[in-house]
Amino acid sequence: MAIDTFFAFFGTYADVEDAKADYDAVKDLHVEAGLIDAYDAAVIERRADGKVKIVAKHETPTRVGGVLGGGVGLATGLVIALFPAAAIGTGLLAGTTAGGAIMGAVVGHAAAGMSRKDLKEVGEALDAGTAGLVVVGVSDMEAKIEKAMAKAEKIEAKQLQADAEAIEADANES
């Protein structure tokens, strides 16, 4: 098994526009570095009724989400692990059974790549804001990603381990 170590950043925001601005800054950072395929990101919005919706996402096409065509990467997987109803609100479950299998594999592996304690802390931090930005990036971009999330009220950084081959195998079995 080839376990890859990533860093997951969870930023909380008072405003979804600030989260989108940092999402764009993270994207620009990766474009400038020639690493557009080295990160996943998802912007979430907490509505007045308490429901969480994914309003923007970038999935790395060379990792599982793009390879299998499911459009679900590690950042989206973490969001759904923390807020399962977000998958329904964004139509991610409206696709085919195969899409659901891919999503299930990615969500399971994303959640398993972090400790329960870390997931709980991140969920509580994201609960505190109106919006959030989840970014999963390679470890050598850690400081740059955190700096690009300049509008965040708070940033939690956690280590995430994932095995892309195992995720793909699990999704193909389902």
pLDDT 10s digits, 63-88: 544 444 445 577 777 777 777 666 55
42 has pLDDT over 50: yes
Least confident of 53-67, 100-114, 134-148: 100-114
Q: What b-and-e string marks burial along 17-49, b requiring 16 or more CB atoms within 10 Å of the CB? A: ebbbbbbebbbebbeeeebeebbbbbbbbbeee
Percent of the chain surpassing pLDDT 90: 22
Domain boundaries, the chain: 4-138+162-173
121-153 per-position pLDDT tens digit: 767 777 777 898 999 888 889 999 999 999 999
Residue 36, token pair as written in the block: 């557009």
Q: Which amino acid is at 54?
A: I
Q: What is the pTM of this model?
A: 0.78
Euclidean distance between CA atoms 95 and 126, whole angstroms? 27
Question: Which helix (H) or strand (E) is 122 found in, with range?
Answer: helix 116-127
pLDDT at residue number 29: 93
